[in-house]
Structure 1
Amino acid sequence: MDLILWRHAEAEVAPEGGDDLSRSLTKKGERQAMRMAAWLDRHLPEGTRVLVSPSRRTQQTVAPLGRKFKLRDELVPETSVEDVLHLLKWHPETGPQLKGPVLLVGHQPYLGELVAKLLGMQEHTCPVRKGGVWWLRTRLRDGQPQTVLLTVACPELTSSSWDDRS
């Protein structure tokens, strides 16, 4: 199983007492989303399932990809790694039960915690840059699930962004 984790792009700061789920992308965030969507469109396998947090900023991040996606309440900002693993039907001893690639568009800190857990890092969490993608692959090795990092990509280093870094 390939698990592609995409953190939402840069978003507006929530006003005092404002609703976190309704925060929109900034202009920079919109550019980040377009760049990463173009990169992902070139690399995602056909049939990739796309699961997205119900927040406005994640929906705006995934929109330029132009693929169907499902909103999942389990992916709200305050969710836990265990809730995400349950959603993915991922068991610690046997690995993922789902077949095929999954693109998950969500938030820190759980994306970084998921990376750390699946890669067996000693740290509790791993920083995932806004708009960035971490591509993980799980395979069976000697009968045990093994997760490897295939690539990390960020909007600033995609080919279309060299002329417009900020």
Structure 2
Amino acid sequence: MRLLLFRHGIAEPGTTNQPDDLRPLTPLGLTRSALAAQGLSRFIDRPQAILTSSKTRAAQTAAFIGDTFDLAPEFCDPLTNGPTKKIIKFLQARPENDILIVGHEPYLSELISILCFPKARSNAVELKKASCALIEAPIRKNEPALPSTSGILHWILPPRALRQLAGET
């Protein structure tokens, strides 16, 4: 399975007055996420599905990606609250082989670590906000257990590189 893992853009800081789920992207986060989505579309094929956390900041980021690829994002409960093993089980039930995921730390980095570097610490990789990684994941349809082989991390593109691909100077 080919997985594109895209971390949401820059969000408003958390406060005690606002639930974490409702924190939106900042104005800069909105602009940079839209540009990162455009940059990503310049060199990858359209995914078969876009799955996103339902938290506001991830949903906003996924909306930009969905508009760019003309594909409606789907909310995915495990991407909202984890844990990572639940995300993998959810992916094992999906019919697609080419999925773009919009989510949060630490789940995205843990997903990369578990699927590509199972002997490394769970925080071996960290995705910056509005960055994207491509992995070839050893996820098999309807497989009851975690993958027994390691996947391949093809690349991680930081947000600045994605924005430059969109033409930002």
Higher helix content, 1 or 2 = 2
Q: Secondary structure at the match of 1:18?
A: coil
* Aligned position for 2:43: 43
Match of 2:78 among 74, 99, 102: 74
Unaligned runs of 5+ in 2: 140-147
* Aligned position for 1:8: 8
* Aligned position for 2:132: 133
Q: Distance in 1 between matches of 2:138 and 2:92?
A: 15
Q: Secondary structure at the match of 1:43?
A: coil
* Aligned position for 2:144: none
* Aligned position for 2:86: 83
2:109 is matched by which residue type in structure 1?
G
TM-score w.r.t. structure 2 length? 0.80
Unaligned runs of 5+ in 1: 91-96
User: Counterparts of 1:22-33 in structure 2 under 5 Å?
Assistant: 22-33=22-33
Structure 1 residues 10, 79: closer, same or farther in 2, change over 3 A? same
| Segment of structure 1 superposing worse, 154-163 or 29-38 | 154-163
Instruction: Please report how far the alpha carbon of residue 138 of structure 1 lies from its aligned counterpart in structure 2 after TM superposition.
Output: 3.4
| Cα root mean square deviation, aligned | 2.2
Q: Distance in 1 between matches of 2:18 and 2:99?
A: 31
| Segment of structure 1 superposing worse, 21-30 or 34-43 | 34-43
Q: Distance in 2 between matches of 1:87 and 1:64?
A: 23
Q: Secondary structure at the match of 2:32?
A: helix
- Identical columns (%): 24
Give CA deviations for 1:33-55 in whole Å, capped at 9, x if unaligned. 11221122233434521111001
Q: Distance in 2 between matches of 1:48 and 1:150?
A: 19
Q: Distance in 2 between matches of 1:157 and 1:47?
A: 20
Contact 2:47 2:100 in 1 (8 A): no
Higher strand content, 1 or 2 = 1
TM-score w.r.t. structure 1 length? 0.82
Count of residues paired in the alignment: 153
Q: Secondary structure at the match of 2:11?
A: coil
